[in-house]
Amino acid sequence: MNGPRPTTRVFLSDLSSLQADSKIRFLGCVTHYTITTGHLILEHNYPRSKTAPSSVSVDINALLEDLTAEELCVGTWLNVVGYVRESEPVPPLSPQSSFPSTPGDANRPNQRPSAIPPRPVYVEAIMVFPAGAISIGEYERILCNSQHVERMIQFTH
């Protein structure tokens, strides 16, 4: 097969169960940006039965020239295309290396991501773009249905 590998659309909560080097696309909400490492922390509270939202560190160093400050702001929903990579656990965030999302945030203590995946992974991003005005519930329903159809197709082959 010629050309790049296709991406697999996944929920952020599925990332730690995927093989390293899997090419994926997922949606997540920015909760933190660490300037010194060039990593975003993204969350998505799906599935809702979990006690804390799933989160993942996303290495955006290769994309820094193309990203805007608005895309790095806390609360922004982003689509990420990239590769799952093995990682060490993320150290606690230091106030000196953090990017405040608003001027008022500079005076508030930083919060650590709320969930650490069972198998520490991070995503090496090759493309990041804003999700825009998205209905998260609708997105979750459609992706869940799509994954169900893909499993049914694989089961019959």
Task: Write the DSSP assignment of the chain as a string of letters.
Answer: --SPPPPEE--GGGGGGSPTT-EEEEEEEEEEEETTTTEEEEEE--STTSSS-EEEEEE-GGGGGG--TGGGSTT-EEEEEEEEEE-PPPPPPPGGGB--SSGGGGGSPP---S---SS-EEEEEEEEEE--S--HHHHHHHHHHHHHHHHHHHHH-
Q: What is the CATH number of the domain that holds 59?
A: 2.40.50.140
Span 55-76, pLDDT tens digits: 999 999 999 999 999 999 999 9
Residue 42, beta-bridge partner list? 30, 56
**Residue 155 belongs to some domain of the structure:** no
Q: Is the pLDDT of residue 136 over 50?
A: yes
Span 15-63, pLDDT tens digits: 999 999 999 999 999 999 999 999 999 999 998 876 788 999 999 999 9
Q: 52 φ, ψ to 5°? A: -135, 150
**Residue 145 belongs to some domain of the structure:** no
Contact 98, 109 (CB under 8 A): no
**Residue 1 belongs to some domain of the structure:** no
Residue 20 structural domain: 8-132
The pLDDT of residue 71 is 95
Q: Is the pLDDT of residue 134 over 50?
A: yes
Alpha-carbon distance of 2 to 36, in angstroms, equals: 37
Q: Is the pLDDT of residue 95 over 90?
A: no
**Residue 102 belongs to some domain of the structure:** yes
Report CA 103 to chain centroid distance, whole Å.
Answer: 24
What does each C-alpha distance from 146 to 6, 10, 67, 141 come to in angstroms?
16, 10, 29, 9
Span 96-131, pLDDT tens digits: 555 555 444 444 444 444 444 467 999 999 999 999
The pLDDT of residue 51 is 78
Kindly report the pTM of this predicted structure: 0.77
Number of residues in the chain: 157
Overall domain count for the chain:
1
The pLDDT of residue 105 is 47
What would the DSSP string read from start to end of 8-46? EE--GGGGGGSPTT-EEEEEEEEEEEETTTTEEEEEE--
**Residue 143 belongs to some domain of the structure:** no
**Residue 141 belongs to some domain of the structure:** no
**Residue 24 belongs to some domain of the structure:** yes
The pLDDT of residue 119 is 74
The pLDDT of residue 93 is 53
The pLDDT of residue 21 is 94
**Residue 93 belongs to some domain of the structure:** yes
